[in-house]
Amino acid sequence: MSDLILKSLDINNFRSIRGQIHAPLDANVVLIHGENGAGKTSLLSAIELALTGKIQSLERADPSYQTQLVHRSANESDVILKTQVGGVEQSFKAALSAAGVHSVATLDKRRGTFFRERAFLPQSLLGQLLQIYQDSGSEAASPLAQFVATLLGLDQLDALEAGLKPFADVRNVRKNVDGWLAAENEKSRLDRLLSDQRKARDELAEQIGNSVTELAGLCTKLGLPVTVREETLEEIAADVSNAQDSDAFARLTDKQRRLASIRREIDAAQGAIKSNAAVAPTGVIEASTAFGQWEAAYGERVSVLRSGIEALLPDVSLQSEPEQFAEAALKALSIQQKQLSDRVSQARTDIVRYGVAQNERDVALRQRDTIDFEVGRLSTSVGSLGSVLAELTSFITSEICPVCDRYFSEISQVRLVEHVHHKVRRLSASAERLLILGRTRSEAQITIERLTSEIEAIAARRVDETILAELDRRSATATALITELETVIDALYEGGRLRTTYIAAKRAVSGYQAIHVSLAAARETLNDFAISIGAPALEASESFETASARLAALLGGQAAQLEERLSMRRRATDHIATIRSALVRRKEADERITADHALWQCADRALLQAQTLRDQGNTIRSTVDRVRSAIIRREFNDRLNRIWRDLFVRLAPGEPFVPAFRIPESSTHKLQPKLITEYRDGGPAGGTPGAMLSAGNLNTAALTLFMALHLAVPRELPWLILDDPVQSMDDIHIAQFAALLRTLSKEHGRQVVIAVHDRQLFDYLKLELSPAFPDDSLLSLELSRGTRRDSICISERFSFKEEATFLAAA
Amino acid sequence: MNTSPLVKIIYDRLHDSGYSDLSTPFRVAGVEFPFTAAMRGRDGRALDLVLLVDTTTGDFGDRDGMRVRQRVEALSRALDVTGSRYVVTVILAGAMLSESIEALSETCRVLHVEDVPLDDHGKPTDTAAARQLDDRIRVLLPLRLPAPLVETEEGSGSTMEQLLRALPASINKTLVDAVIAASNAGEQAVTEALALVINDVVQSALGKEQS
């Protein structure tokens, strides 16, 4: 036999074995018997320790087990296991002391794992195998899942899977990756900012568009030969401010005055005809005298007043009759005075408001700067830092900082927990503060923009101080003239009456003579005037009234047209100013948008790269899942189920159900093999083994599962070492079990080492496993110990003996 | 040997599996023991003595559980007397009271083949029937291990090597190295490792903007 076989074991003061024992192991079957506590388990675990350097079942129960392995009566211990392959001997040794285990030589990692998982069945592993039936939950922490993970070395894959899982949910990503949340916040902040800025910019663009449209309409109405676009604004401004309309208006006003004077002449001539139609006029001398006296008294003053008014109101034509002059002058003056005072007060308000608005904007700008400064100082992560610290407080139980392990009292009188609470309060207050600041800032921004446009509007229409002073002066002059006029108005009425009387008398005389001549001349004058303004000449039948009304209407129409044009030009100028200022602001907005967009792209790129990594994490996770599933499918295959079934049926021929593993075809989460039972003779699957099998057959299932795992993979080590595996099996099973052990030992070359505590079973196995052919061998080891003496191991070797009973018959 | 098809098929099956016929009645310690059939294994099973009992039509008291037991007990004693190491297995072909089977089990290994569907030629009707028979006496049959799996390329190496092979080529190596290194320390370490890698990328991308 060229297989590696266990040769012998020397144990010195190990666990419950006191003193030194030597156990030969070089037989196909080694049967170990001892009462409970005699040291069977110690002996078998000594084999494990020597081969692998540790004892897995104890490690699971107590991580510091290595210091407790030396027998309590001794200080040192050692275990030497010898193996043999062909004729070559190999030694595995472990030295033990209170400090722990020192391994001199062990199996390589691969065979060590095989030994632990598939060659050595200590009681604890059998218990674990039983547990996987009893707790058949399918969750990741179930005993079956843990067993599978350990058996297949899936721990690392499971750690990867579980560790990467949180990244499937973006909320967990935010929690775990600080920068992620910061980038997201930055991006959404810029998003909002950009959207606000774009909205403002669009409003500006719309405003420009509207103004351009209106300006274009005005230009069309004015008949200006220009294309209205933002670029041609300068050209349009020049065209709009062209003075030809105002010149034309001045000429027209002149014509209107002339028409009015002609009409007055004609009225006078006609009036004279009516009043002096019959009687020859009298009383010329008396009237002349009275008027002469009035003129001497008031003539000078009235003439000064008149020249003053004419200087102030060059456009107004004043009659020479005193009372008409008084009325017309008073009316014109009070209109003028009102206009002037309105303009003055408007200009003054503007000047004041201009200054105030600038101050207000200044204040708002400073407020915004203050907010920006504060926002800059408050980190955007204060909120999350606050919540992290809040969680931390529950770990603060003393003055020792849980982060740096130093005494807080070294640097402060305040208690640490209060310090952290204070800090948390401050941080969460800061987070709230950020919200308030954000709100206030946008309010301030709105105020600034409103004030800026107001200031620009005022600047566009504001008059400078020189003109204001001039207006003021003119207003004062008008007021003075009105006062003066009011003081002389009674005299003027009197003068007017006297003058009228005088002129009436005089006219009565001369008019009487010259009426016809003057009327003819007046008609001639009117006719000339009509031709001069381009109107049709007077008809022979046309009366003076009709003709002069016709001409007045003509001129009035022209004047209205010109006034309309002038007003349109003013509106066009206003629009141009508006467009200019809006263009400047739009340009600024464009620049801001470009800058912020660059920042936004940066944050976006950061998130994109992070997302790529996150996706890759998910890829790794799904690959882990795939690899893990592949490993499980490879291991828990039909081959394992077939061997398991065969072994189980051997041991429990009367059981109608057999246990099996089933791999779910598709699984939404981590793939786990499931334990099921099947009808032995075929048919639909029953429930879980725990529900379907008796306690004894569950034990059988656990034992056969271990053996099936041993047999289902290539044979790394030809050993089956079983520690008291048949505690609760009934007699039938023991008979079948013995037959199975014989099959494995004698037909499959396994070296079987089995410990039992039951004397009857020991004897029975000794018979059943007796050497059956010349090379076959059986060793029995009897362990015993006493309270005061060293442990004893008595070995007995059985070799093949030709069976004589049926020699004759055979 | 009688002509019961059930006994015949069991006998044939064992014969095919390397058991040889032992003529009955045979003598042990001078006592003669008659059985419906007796067989003996060879090599590793050289100490197996298999006795067939036809509980339906058999002779020698086969139909009476008590008499079967007495006969087997007598044989056991005779074997003990001669110092023989033979291990007796009794196969009961046909129905029998479970109390009797239990009582018999205290003396020897008992296998019970109550019924197997057989065709006109006395062969199992199908593979299911054949398997049913095998299952009943399986402990006497050789254990056949399926041929060991040839280790495929993808199934070789440690779990981490398998994982690395399965990952797409486009995967970020830094990331993979970081999480695999962390996986030894448990899931929390993996989470932290990934978080760290992502955070580094975010910080460096955001850092560009500030510089």
Tens digit of pLDDT for each residue in A418-445? 888 888 888 877 777 777 888 888 888 8
Residue A808's pLDDT is what?
A: 47
Higher per-residue confidence, A591 vs A481: A591
Query: A407: which DSSP letter?
Result: B
Q: What is the rounded distance in angstroms from the CA atom of residue B38 to the CA atom of residue A290?
A: 183
What contacts A197, CB < 8 A, 6 or more positions away? A589, A592, A593, A596
Q: φ, ψ for residue B161 (rounded to 5)? A: -65, -40
Q: Is A796 helix (H, G, I), strand (E, B) or coil?
A: strand
Q: How far is A375 from chain B (nearest CA, A)?
A: 17
Q: Is residue A558 a contact partner of residue A245, using CB atoms and an 8 Å limit?
A: no
Helical packing angle, A544-635 and A465-532, nearest 10°: 130
Residue A137: its pLDDT value, please? Answer: 63
Residue for token pair 């089956």: A720
Amino acid code (one letter) for B90: V
Q: Are A697 and A658 in contact (CB under 8 A)?
A: no
Cβ atoms of B148 and A713 within 8 Å: the answer is: yes
Q: Which amino acid is at A331?
A: K
Mutate to test the interface with B, among A108, A150, A613 (most CBs of B within 10 A): A613
What backbone phi and psi angles, to 5 degrees, belong to A752?
-100, 125
Residue among B40, B139, B201 whose CB faces A609 most closely: B201
How many angstroms away from the CA of B58 is the closest CA of chain A?
23
Q: Say which CATH number the domain at B80 has.
A: 3.40.1350.10
Query: Region B128-147: what's the mean pLDDT?
Result: 87
CB contact under 8 A, B138 and A653: yes
> Residue B156: is its pLDDT beyond 80?
no
Q: What angle do CA A663, A667, A668 make, to 5 degrees?
A: 165
Residues in chain B with CB shorter than 8 Å from the CB of A607 are 202
Does the CA dihedral A531-A536-A542-A543 come out positive or negative?
negative
Examine residue B84 and state whether it is found in any structural domain, yes or no.
yes
Cβ neighbours for A360, distance < 8 A, ≥ 6 positions apart: A447, A451
Q: Which of A709, A711, A720, A661 is nearest to B147 (CA)?
A: A711
Residues in A closer than 8 angstroms to B203, CB to CB, are: 179
| Whether residue B101 sits in one domain with residue B30 | yes
B122 and B95 share a domain? yes
The tokens of A118 are what?
A: 């598939």
- Both B76 and B124 in a single domain? yes
Mutation target to probe the B interface, by most B beta carbons within 10 A, among A600, A647, A803 is A803
What's the pLDDT score for residue A172? 84
Together in a domain, B110 and B50:
yes
Pair (B105, B11) in one structural domain:
yes
- Please give the Cα distance from A292 to A460 (Å, whole number): 56
Subunit contact B46:A803, Cβ cutoff 8 A:
yes
From chain B, pick out residues whose CB is under 8 angstroms from the CB of A186. Answer: 206
Between CA B66 and CA B76, with CA B72 as vertex, the angle to 5 degrees is 140
Q: Do B202 and A609 touch (CB under 8 A)?
A: yes
Phi-psi domain of A15 (left: phi exceeds 0; alpha: psi -120 through 50; beta: other)? left
Average pLDDT of the segment spanning A391-413: 81
Is residue B62 assigned to a domain?
yes
- Does residue A773 carry a pLDDT above 60? yes
Q: Do A627 and B159 touch (CB under 8 A)?
A: yes
Residue A32: how many CA atoms within 13 Å on its side-chain side? 26
A746: nearest CB among B44, B85, B168: B44
Which amino acid is it at B60? F
CB nearest B205 (choices: A598, A602, A642): A602
- The string of pLDDT tens digits covering residues A276-314 is 554 555 677 777 788 788 888 877 877 888 888 877 777
Q: Is residue B93 part of a domain?
A: yes
Looking at chain A, the number of H-run helices and the number of E-run strands are 21, 13
Across the interface, whether the CB atoms of B202 and A177 are under 8 A apart is answered yes
| Residue B149 domain flag | no
Residues B47 and B136 in one domain: yes
Please indicate, yes or no, whether residues B31 and B61 belong to a single structural domain of this protein: yes
Which pLDDT score is estimated for A780? 94
- A455, β-bridge pairs: none
- pLDDT at residue B76 tops 60: yes
CB A38 within 8 A of CB A762: no
Chain B residues near residue A802 by CB distance under 8 angstroms: none
**Mean pLDDT, range A591-616, rounded to an integer:** 89
Bridge partners (DSSP) of residue A24 are A8
Are the beta carbons of A163 and B179 closer than 8 angstroms?
yes
Q: Do B145 and A163 touch (CB under 8 A)?
A: no
Of A624, A649, A735, the CB nearest to B109: A735
Alpha carbons B19 and A80: distance in angstroms, whole number: 43
Distance CA A663, CA A675 (A): 9
Per-residue CA distances from A761 to A700, A796, B109 (Å) = 16, 17, 14
Residues from chain B contacting residue A630 (CB–CB below 8 Å): 154-155, 162, 166
Name the E strands within A316-433.
none
- In this complex, the residue of A598, A732, A767 whose CB is nearest that of residue B87 is A767
Provide DSSP, B10-72. Answer: HHHHHHHTT-EEE-SSEEETTEEE--SEEEE--GGGTTEEEEEEETTT-STTTT-HHHHHHHH
Domain identity same for B120 and B200: no
Contact A347, A468 (CB under 8 A): yes
> In this structure, are B17 and B100 located in the same domain?
yes
Q: Give the whole-number percent of chain A exceeding pLDDT 90.
A: 11
Residue whose token pair is 């200054």: A355
Decide if A163 and B193 are in contact by the 8 Å CB cutoff: yes
In sequence order, the 6+-apart residues with CB closer than 8 A to the CB of A470 are none
Strands B20-22 and B26-28: unpaired
Q: Looking at this protein, which amino acid is placed at residue B32?
A: E
Shortest CA distance from B30: residue in chain A? A805
Residue B124: asked if its preceding bond is cis (omega within 30°), the reply is no
Give the nearest chain B residue to A776 (CA atoms).
B44
Q: Would you state the pLDDT for residue B14?
A: 94
* Chain B residue with minimum CA distance to A154: B159
Number of domains in chain B: 2
Q: Does A727 have pLDDT greater than 90?
A: no
Q: Is the pLDDT of residue B98 over 80?
A: yes
User: Is A745 within 8 Å of B28 when comparing Cβ atoms?
Assistant: no
- Contact state of B168 with A619 under an 8 Å Cβ cutoff: yes
> In the Cβ-directed half-sphere of A452, how many Cα atoms lie within 13 Å?
12
Give residue A732's pLDDT: 59
**Whole-angstrom distance, CA of residue B173 vs CA of residue B197:** 11
Q: If you compute the radius of gyration of chain A from its CA atoms, what whole number of angstroms results?
A: 61
Q: How far is B97 from chain A (nearest CA, A)?
A: 14
Residue found under tokens 């016809």:
A516
Looking at residue A373, its pLDDT comes to 79
Q: Does some domain include residue B104?
A: yes
- The answer to whether residues B166 and A642 touch, using CB atoms and an 8 Å cutoff, is no
Of the three residues B140, B167, B190, the one that is the final residue of a domain is B140
* Cβ pair B154:A159 closer than 8 A: no
The radius of gyration of chain B from alpha carbons, rounded to an integer in Å, stands at 32
Per-position b or e across A367-394, b if 16+ CB within 10 A of its CB? bbeebeeebeeeeebbbbbbeebbeeee
Residue B150, in any domain of the structure: no
Q: What is the pLDDT of residues B103-124, one digit of tens each?
A: 898 888 999 998 888 887 778 8
Neighbours of A254 (CB within 10 A): 11
The separation between CA A780 and the C-alpha centre of its own chain, rounded to angstroms, equals 75
Banded pLDDT at A236 (limits 50, 70, 90)? confident
Q: Which of A182, A634, A649 sits opposite B138 (nearest CB)?
A: A649
pLDDT of residue B19: 93
* Residue that is last in its domain, among B108, B140, B172: B140
In DSSP notation, B79-136 reads HHHTT---EEEEEEES---HHHHHHHHTTSEEEEE----B-TTSSBSSHHHHHHHHHH
Let me know whether B15 and B60 are in one domain.
yes
Sort out which chain A residues have CB atoms less than 8 A from B195's CB and list them.
Answer: 173, 176-177
pTM of the predicted structure, to 2 decimals: 0.60
Q: Cite the DSSP H helix spans in A36-154.
A: 40-52, 56-61, 109-114, 123-134, 143-152
Average pLDDT in chain A:
83
> Are B76 and B29 a contacting pair, CB within 8 Å?
no
For residue A91, how many other CB atoms are within 10 A of its CB?
14
Please check whether residue B154 lies inside any domain of the structure. no
Residues B45, A772: C-beta atoms closer than 8 Å: yes
Last residue of a domain, one of B111, B140, B169: B140
Question: Å from A749 to nearest chain B CA?
Answer: 10
Q: Which residues contact A283 (CB under 8 A, 6 or more apart)?
A: A505
| Site of tokens 């008149």 | A306
For residue A669, which of A729, A712, A634, A625 has the smallest C-alpha distance?
A625
The confidence score (pLDDT) of residue A103 equals: 85
Tell me whether residue B152 is in a domain.
no
- Pair B19, B82 in one domain: yes
| Cβ pair A163:B167 closer than 8 A | no
For residue B203, give its domain range: 159-210
The mean per-residue pLDDT over the stretch B141-149 comes to: 79
Q: What pLDDT, on a 0 to 100 scale, did the predictor assign at position A139?
A: 64
B85 and B118 inside one domain = yes
Confidence grade of residue A661 (pLDDT, cut at 50, 70, 90):
confident
